[in-house]
Each structure stands twice: as C-alpha cells, then as structure tokens.
Amino acid sequence: MENNTTSIESGSSVKTVSSTQQMNNDRPKDSNGCFKFALIAILVVIVFVFCSFSSMIAILSMGTQTSSERILDEGSADRIAVINVNGMILQSIDSSIFSAGGGVTPSMVRADLDSALSDPSVKAIILYIESPGGEAVASDVIREYVSEASQRKPVVAYSGSIAASGGYMIASAADKFVVHPGVLTGSIGVILETSSIDGLYEKLGIETVTFKSGEFKDDSELYDGVDGEIETIYQGIVDEAYNDFVDMVAEGRQMDRETVVKLADGRLYTGRQAVANGLADSMGYFEKAVQEAEELAGISGSTIVEYGNQGFWDALLGTKVQGIIGSQLVPNSSFGVYYLPDITR
C-alpha cells in the first residue's frame, strides 16, 4: 500500500505525517460526533416523553373528563341518546393514572343528561345501567337527575347484567324499566358496616387513647365494638335511609308502599321475577329498550347515539371492564351508608 507523506510546518519546525496516519486521526473525530448527536437525540426524546407523561398525570389527577359521542345505529334525524351508568355509584372518583378508578358519579351522569336534554334532535334517553349500587347520597342525587330529565323527555332504563340497590333506585325513576330475563335487580335495602379490632389490639398489647369533644364523636367503634346506644344510633341511620329508598321506589314505580315494603327485604330478583312483581316493566334485549323509547317519543327508525363521559382508564380498558374493576375494589374502602347487595363483600 502506498504511504504518502505530508510535511506540516509549525513555527520553525517541520513535522512529517503519513496520509494513513492522517485518516486514522480523523476517524475518531467522526465517531465522536455521531455518538454525541445520538446521545443528544436520545436525551431530547426522554425529556419530551417525561414532559408529556407529567402533563397527562397532572390532567388526570385533576379528574378531567372527556366527553364523546358514538353512533351505534344510523337512522333518521330523530335520535335516542344512550347514557351509561356503570360500576359503583360514588360521589367522587380518584381519576389519577395511579388509581384503579372505576364507577360513576352524579356529575358524570348530569353532564350526559344535560347534553341529551339540550340537543333538540334527541327525542328520548336510554339509561344503560350495569351497577351493583353504591353510596346512598350519590345514588339519590342521580335518581333525582333522572326524575327531572323524565319530565322533559322520555327516559327508559335498561340492564342486561345487574341493576341492584342504588342501581335499581336510579332505574325506578325512569318512565320504563326493561330488563334481560337473567339480570340481577332489586336488592332494595341499606348497608352500614363497621368493624371491631379491640381483640387484635389486646393481643398485640396496643392501647388506644382518644380525646374527644362528645360521647359519640368517635362513633366508628373500631376498637370497642358496637353495642348499647351507639347501636341504636347506627340502626336509626339505616332505617331512615331504608324508608327513603322505599318511598322513592313507590313513587317512581307508582306502586303501593306496602307492596314495596314486602319486596324490599334486600333480596335480589331475576328479570323474570322483577317483571312479575312489578319492579320492572318488560323483558328483552337492548333492542326492546329502543322500541320502548321510540314508542314513548312517538318516533321510529331513530339514530342511536351513545354518550360517554370518560376518563383515562375508561378509554384504555373500556367503560364496562373498568366499571367491573371499580365495583370490586371500592365497596369496603370507606365507612358510610351504601345501597349495595351483600354479594359485593
């Protein structure tokens, strides 16, 4: 191989360098340049992903919801809005990315109802309920929203799986309640649970000292158990919530109160049983609910539009799947009054 040399003059001295040596000296410089460029590019991507992820977490942590609309069946200009009531009924939901989330809140249902009521092309509303119930106050608030909506447009409730306790309370406020024959519904009743761990603390040698302003300020009774006057207080809360539930069903279903009381022992009913005892109107699939809604609105061949008020996990997992996750994780998370069947324990 020919080895040419080049003389490089520096000041008063002359240095001879071969062309091969010159090429070898240049190669590391090119490699270093490519490495630096690749490193910078990787760092830019990492920063971009981190910033995007942080922004997403911030938005989700604030509980931001995204509304969507999906056409299920294209038809005439007259539309029927389908509003989902899925999972545990809660007053609020932690919708951050680190939370399992799940369930439905009054604000979510209210937003969808408002959209349906304000759209002149929507002639009727279908509430697609798949819920075991939930918090007493949240269930009552949604029921009131549904009752108000039914004064303006026909509302049909439908359930193909479960509409129990608080879920049934909401359904009872609709003009019609259509059920699948095998649905689980009813469960008209109230649950308030507490626990006693004083035996465990005694075994562990732990003694609790409580400073309180009144005799019943620490009435969760986690340490001493429930008895005496505190039991009377708790039972009074349950009885009041139960009577309210019975009154709401009697009013919504236009049934005699005594008849409702006989049915309201907390048990679940199948769709067939519910239709037979008057807690539901008819059996069928979703198409039956559409038919009932069209008859009430005096329309036919309508366009069926599903409304959605979704968060991150709803969009990722799907509303029904996410509702199931929420219904399994939330029931025992806090002390309070619930309209729930005992099967969720």
**Strand bridging mode 79-86 / 303-310:** parallel
- Provide the token pair at 339: 């309209």
Torsion angles phi and psi, residue 90, rounded to 5 = -135, 155
The whole-angstrom separation of Cα 334 and Cα 187 is 21
Per-residue DSSP letters for 191-252? EE-----HHHHHHHT-------SSTTTTTT-TTT---HHHHHHHHHHHHHHHHHHHHHHHHH
Question: Can you name the residues that pair with 9 across neighbouring β-strands?
Answer: 14
Q: Which of 139, 150, 161, 165 is catalytic?
A: 165
Residue 304 · residue 125 · CB < 8 Å: no
| Cβ neighbours of 94 (radius 10 Å) | 14
Q: What are phi and psi of 307, to 5 degrees?
A: -90, 145
Residue 165 catalytic?
yes
Q: Is 123 a catalytic residue?
A: no
Residue in 18, 92, 217, 262 annotated catalytic: 217
Catalytic sites, residue numbers: 165, 217
